[in-house]
Amino acid sequence: MTTHETTAHQADSRYAMLRLALTLLIMTVGSSGMYVVSVMLPAVQAEFGIARADASLPYTLLMLGFGLGGVLMGRVADRVGVMWPLLFGSVFLGVGYVATGMSGGIVSFTIAQALLVGLLGSSVAFAPLVADTSLWFVKRRGIAVAVCASGNYLAGAVWPPIAQHFVELVGWRQTYIGMGIFCGITMALLALCFKARPPALAPATAKASASSTARPRDLTRPFGLSMGAAQSLLCVAGVACCVAMAMPQVHIVAYCGDLGYGPAQGAIMLSLMLGFGIVSRLVSGVICDRIGGLRTLLLGGVLQCVALLLFLPFDGLVPLYVISALFGLFQGGIVPSYAIIVREHFPPAEAGARVGTVLMFTLFGMALGGWMSGKVFDLTGSYHAAFLNGIGWNLVNVSIASFLLFRLRRVRTLAVA
């Protein structure tokens, strides 16, 4: 990659906006796997004759692979650009879906989901693209990252009802095979549009970006802590918020089936939840540009806890639709806020690795939460205790965000003094 190719396009330009639109599309296609597996859960459990926790395990390992792969693909993108990892991921996503549809048991199903779909396929369509987008914008970085990350939720809004329709029409195996052909080809074609490198990698642009910062910060001591300690706290917060987030997202289809409403109603609720999550991410992006990433994280954590509490007393069909919409509206901006926090408080040259690492831990939280909720259900025979478990983890996230905000205010007060 030549210097001319690296600096041909500027931050906040028309090209940056076009690239953002294409990023939204490719993330919508590439992130399908993490939502489709929830729709397949009841059919897979019935065909293989396994417990709910065992049926949840493929999702857990898929998310672990998704997170690890995001860091790995992000480092590759830092070296050669994001186009080649996207092309690589499109091949393995398509192959992974086809292999899943042809699996002979839960072991081969899980391996295909974790290794091919998660680690080598879908992983490139989240953390590397979020980090890439943060490097193409300066003035409206918050809303740009929010739009980019909305592709992840747009996938959640679009794919569950489509998958449920085809599962009922042709079965879950044929649905996976068809998705493999469509997603693999579509993602590869879109990847060819990502050849240009981010302008933030150029020294001149980095200096301009630094000079545009309204408030100078010591980026070697984020929140007055060492960089390792600060990032570790963000990683723990990411795990905690997403363990809580995973309870409704992973199990709402099965929950509706247990209540007698049927998996189709649960698929619609999941789509509604993630559709409102798109609205939440966009609104949170605007809020982020005004109050910063850390305050946005705290606000989202508090509101998510409120939504989880509402699941406890209400289990009617109409209330569940309303609460699912509220849950999506409240929590959609949480994950993108971590990327903004990293870009605000850590050195820009380390954005790719640090954003990828923190987002990896949020995905670990989704993986742990998906499995843990199924295990709690198997032990208690009810999702009531699983919701309480999610609320407890959510409070950990709120506590860390509050602590970091306290540290930030203290650092600013000392700097003024």
> Structural domain boundaries of the chain?
9-195+214-416
pLDDT at 56 over 80: no
Backbone angles phi, psi at 225, to 5 degrees: -115, 165
Give CATH for domain 9-195+214-416: 1.20.1250.20
- Residues 6+ away with beta carbon under 8 Å from 8: 196
pLDDT category at 219 given cuts 50, 70, 90 is low
Percent of the chain with pLDDT over 70: 93
pLDDT at 335 over 70: yes
What does the pLDDT average to over 55-66?
84
- Residues 6+ away with beta carbon under 8 Å from 203: none
Q: Using CA atoms in the order 169, 175, 181, 186, what is the torsion angle rounded to 10 degrees?
A: 90
| DSSP 3-state of 217 | coil
pLDDT at 209 over 60: no
Other CB atoms within 10 Å distance of the CB of residue 310: 17
pLDDT value of position 390: 92
pLDDT at 2 over 50: no
- The token duo for 100 is 């899943």
pLDDT value of position 23: 96
pLDDT category at 35 given cuts 50, 70, 90 is confident
pLDDT value of position 139: 82
More confident residue, 206 or 340: 340
Distances (CA, A) of 226 to 223, 297, 344, 345, 409: 8, 21, 15, 11, 16
More confident residue, 298 or 416: 298
Over residues 250-268, the pLDDT tens digits come to 888 888 988 889 888 888 8
pLDDT at 147 over 80: yes
pLDDT category at 108 given cuts 50, 70, 90 is very high
What does the pLDDT average to over 101-129?
93
What does the pLDDT average to over 188-201?
87
pLDDT at 203 over 70: no
pLDDT at 207 over 90: no
pLDDT value of position 201: 64
Which stretches within 171-292 are classed as H helix? 172-191, 203-211, 227-259, 263-291
Burial per residue of 36-69, b for 16 or more beta-carbon CB atoms within 10 angstroms, e otherwise: bbbbbbbbbbebeeeebbbbbbbbbbbbbbbbbb
Percent of the chain with pLDDT over 90: 45
What does the pLDDT average to over 233-245?
95
**Minimum mean pLDDT among 35-39, 104-108, 327-331: which range?**
35-39
pLDDT value of position 8: 65
- Residues 6+ away with beta carbon under 8 Å from 119: 65, 66, 68, 69, 72
pLDDT at 412 over 90: no
Average pLDDT for the chain: 87
pLDDT at 296 over 90: yes
Q: How far apart are the first and last CA of the chain?
A: 47
Burial of 348 (0-12, 13-18, 19+ CB in 10 A): middle
Four-residue CA torsion sign, 235, 129, 280, 28: negative
Query: Do the Cβ atoms of 125 and 31 come closer than 8 Å?
Result: yes
Q: Which of 16-25, 263-272, 358-367 has the highest mean pLDDT?
A: 16-25
